[in-house]
Copies of this chain bind each other. A is one copy, B any other.
């Protein structure tokens, strides 16, 4: 079964990078020489608590994501990121889709919609994907036979993916700085967020925590509910 996947691929910066950015405003070059690790912790907490946001942009994170397209559309609404997504114009798209999770199945059963609801959902998703694959296989053969050109094949391919379900999996690489990502977490870890994107946010946070990128900044931002 396909699942939402997150990989933290690269990062830049640390708690010290954040503090150094802030000290650019307030501290002489000579004064910087006397700053200690304890000063870093103190200033990072002060910045988070008082809402001085730009220094947090000194930490930059790069994630790779595997997500349903409907979730990807929520991710794309965040403008302060650099991202590239799998393209249905440039390649044949994968045909695996996000299956109905237990919480939705439970609601369907509670509503008396019948036990077959996940199967019906899956049937529509599978039928569209099979038709896409089959159509492209036939078209590719005729392209190889010279009946249609490569450009014609690509035009057909980009159009027929339009029948594919919005829960097909897609992939995205995104670079966000810590400030923008904190805003992402504030919105996407919230109980009101859709469970699928909450899972993305949860995995992101777990990996950044485990990689020990900037532990004090992370704790300070979490304490302020990611509002910076």
- Please report A residues at the B interface, Cβ cutoff 8 Å: 9-13, 17, 20-22, 24-29, 54-55, 57-58, 60, 62, 64, 68-70, 72-73, 76-77, 79-80, 82-91, 94, 97-98, 100-101, 103-104, 107-108, 110-113, 117, 120-121, 124-125, 127-128, 131, 135, 138-139, 142-143, 147-148, 152-153, 155-156, 158-168, 171-173, 175, 177, 179, 194-195
Contact = CB atoms under 8 A, between A and B. Distances in A.
Given A54-B84, A82-B177, A163 B110 contact: no
A156 B57 contact: no
A171 B24 contact: yes
Contact of A26 (B13, B58, B90, B121): B90
Nearest to A187: B51
Question: How many of these chains are in the complex?
Answer: 4
A214 B91 CA distance: 27
Question: Interface centre among A24, A76, A87, A143, by most B CB within 10 Å?
Answer: A24
B162 A167 contact: yes
Contacts of A57: 82, 175
Question: Interface centre among A84, A90, A121, by most B CB within 10 Å?
Answer: A84
Contacts of A104: 155-156, 159-160
B165 A100 contact: no
A175 B107 contact: no
A86 B26 CA distance: 6
Contacts of A175: 57-58, 60, 177
A124 B163 contact: yes
A120 B162 CA distance: 12
Nearest to A180: B82
Given A10-B17, A21-B173, A112-B142, 7 more contacts: A24-B64, A58-B175, A70-B162, A107-B152, A161-B166, A164-B166, A165-B165
Nearest to A159: B104
Contacts of A94: 28
